[in-house]
Amino acid sequence: MKIIKNPATGDCAAPRLEVWLMFNILDLRTMPLTAKPRPGSDFEAELPDDQSQGIGRRLRRLRTERKLTIAELAAKAGVSSGIISQIERGASSPSISTLVKINSALGVNLWQFFEDAPSPSSDKLHFVRRKDNRPRIVAGKMHLTKELLSPSSSENLRFMILTLPPGAESEEMLSGPGDKGGYVMSGRVELTVGNEVAELFEGDSFQFKSTLPHKLENRHDAEAKLIWIINIQDKHL
């Protein structure tokens, strides 16, 4: 990776990442865990209470569609039956790490916990997602937000808007075959890929292999907003 400096100011200008691609706290797919979440990370943080009821309802639907009992799903996911029951009743706010275990056991991707199944009255254009119909995830104490832009959450190519408030950090805890990339819409972020770090400014873009450890940080006073892209190789069960 080459960091280009502005000759006038000496500041880092648009960094060039050599043939790689990126995106997010969590890969919203059934990918193998290759890193343990560190304590206090967004990956372990509980989701806001206002998302719990919807997640529980969708989890129950996905489980019953697969004709699994709570005990059977708990055994497959490696969590307790009590946790599954509490999530389904909306009595518990699950962490992202818990949902990842459950979505892997169900054979679905994480976004399906945040989006209802299409209804007969839904938009007939399967290749379009309307701006008022974006599934949204708010994670961690810093309320890092992800909005799905892709028309389908089940496809291997997925893109979304990632918003990092000041001080927010998005540490990738899942990795697997595929690529990630993105474009900075506003603000500034620090991108770490492997052992290399680049300061990204508005208008910069990036790309890397998703098998590499990576994270984003917003160390500035203003909110940062990015287009985030994931291209995942099927299947990562």
- Say if 127 falls within a structural domain: yes
Q: What are the residues facing 231 on neighbouring strands? A: 157, 179
Instruction: Enter the DSSP assignment of 6.
Output: P
Ranking 76-80, 168-172, 177-181 by mean pLDDT, the lowest is: 168-172
5-9, 92-96, 195-199: range with lowest mean pLDDT: 5-9
In a domain, 81, yes or no: yes
29-50 burial: b if 16+ Cβ within 10 Å, else e: bbbeeeeebeeebbbbbbbeee
Residue 30 included in any domain: no
Structural domain count of the chain? 1
pLDDT number for residue 71: 94
Please state, in angstroms and rounded to a whole number, the distance separating the CA atoms of residues 41 and 203.
Answer: 28
* Cα separation, 97 vs 100, whole angstroms: 5
38-81: pLDDT as tens digits: 444 444 444 545 566 788 888 998 899 999 999 999 999 999 99
Domain range spanning residue 219?
49-232
pLDDT band at 237 (very low <50, low <70, confident <90, very high): very low
* Interatomic CA distance for residues 211 and 194, integer angstroms: 9
Does residue 34 register a pLDDT over 60?
no
Nearest to 199 by CA among 176, 214, 216: 216
Cα 108–Cα 169–Cα 234 angle in degrees, nearest 5? 25
Per the domain annotation, does 8 fall within a domain? Answer: no
If you average pLDDT over every residue of the chain, what do you get? Answer: 74
Does residue 203 belong to any structural domain of this protein? yes
Residue at 226: amino acid letter: L
Q: Which pLDDT belongs to residue 20?
A: 26
Q: In the structure, what pLDDT confidence band is assigned to residue 167 with cuts at 50, 70 and 90?
A: very high
Residues 6+ apart with CB under 8 A from 193: 1, 17, 20, 22, 208, 212, 213, 214
pLDDT of the residue at 14: 36
Measure the CA angle with vertex 182, ends 16 and 39; round to 5°: 100
User: In this structure, is residue 22 part of a structural domain?
Assistant: no
pLDDT band for 236, please (50, 70, 90 cuts).
Answer: very low
How many residues are present in the chain?
237
Q: What is the mean pLDDT of residues 176-199?
A: 93
Whether the per-residue pLDDT at 149 is higher than 60: the answer is yes
| Three-point CA angle 215, 41, 94, nearest 5° | 120
Residue with the larger pLDDT of the pair 10 and 19 = 10
The CATH number given to whatever domain includes residue 76 is 2.60.120.10
Ranges of beta strands (E only) in the chain are: 136-139, 144-148, 157-164, 169-171, 178-186, 189-193, 196-200, 205-209, 214-217, 224-232
